[in-house]
Chains A and B, each alone.
Chain A
Amino acid sequence: GDSVTQMEGPVTLSEEAFLTINCTYTATGYPSLFWYVQYPGEGLQLLLKATKADDKGSNKGFEATYRKETTSFHLEKGSVQVSDSAVYFCALSRYSSASKIIFGSGTRLSIRP
């Protein structure tokens, strides 16, 4: 069945460091791909998305590119801030609309000042 595998955490970085969180997926067809973020005490928020191969999603300095050939959707940010500390979830939705979202297990990111 469909699944998402992401880099295990926790990941601890210093402020202004470069961030990569790896994510790969298994799915038939062409799923939509997402990164969600969960800040402490808050609900899941959509960070960015990509709906077809080679699309790049971006938001708040974060980027991820839909790579069909490697079935990957790695999250990157050039310079992290303390406020980026959160749990990040890679996810997919198999159809363009109406379908359930399948999540990875999450990666906890902590940024040191």
Chain B
Amino acid sequence: DTGVSQDPRHKITKRGQNVTFRCDPISEHNRLYWYRQTLGQGPEFLTYFQNEAQLEKSRLLSDRFSAERPKGSFSTLEIQRTEQGDSAMYLCASSYDSGGGNIQYFGAGTRLSVL
């Protein structure tokens, strides 16, 4: 078990460019979550997958954001036409429903800087 892995760790881009982040969850976990964390704040929920189905999306997830989990394993988060306000840490988490509660395991995150 290598934990939740995110790639890249850092991304610097110019305003208007598209970026894509990848998340590899813990292998037996069927649930995958994306959060966004800005400086000095707690993480905010963006979206959630159970297997390959995207079951919930936050109002924070504008039309420029899209997430996929095509085979129920890894997930990608794409931001189109990036804006400076998109600069944040993007966190991925995964969990497995064993009846013991919603314990989510987090990756180290991808830090996005939009210039």
Contacts and interface: CB of A to CB of B under 8 A. Distances in A.
Contacts of A98: 31, 48, 50, 55, 97, 102
B101 A103 contact: no
B48 A100 contact: yes
A91 interface: yes
B105 to A, nearest CB: 8
B37 to A, nearest CB: 8
Given A49-B103, A106-B41, A43 B91 contact: yes
A93 B41 contact: no
A106 B56 CA distance: 25
Interface in A85-106: 89, 91, 93, 95-106
A96 B33 CA distance: 16
Contacts of A24: none
B90 to A, nearest CB: 12
A91 to B, nearest CB: 7
A68 B22 CA distance: 39
Chain B interface bracket (under 10, 10 to 19, 20 to 34, 35 or more): 20 to 34
Interface of B: 3-4, 31, 33, 35, 40-45, 48, 50, 55-56, 58, 91, 93, 95, 97, 99, 101-109
A44 B31 contact: no
A4 B55 CA distance: 24
A105 B42 CA distance: 4
A12 interface: no
A72 to B, nearest CB: 17
Interface in A30-73: 32, 36, 41-46, 49, 51
A32 B102 CA distance: 8
Contacts of B41: 105-106
A99 B102 contact: yes
A51 B102 CA distance: 10
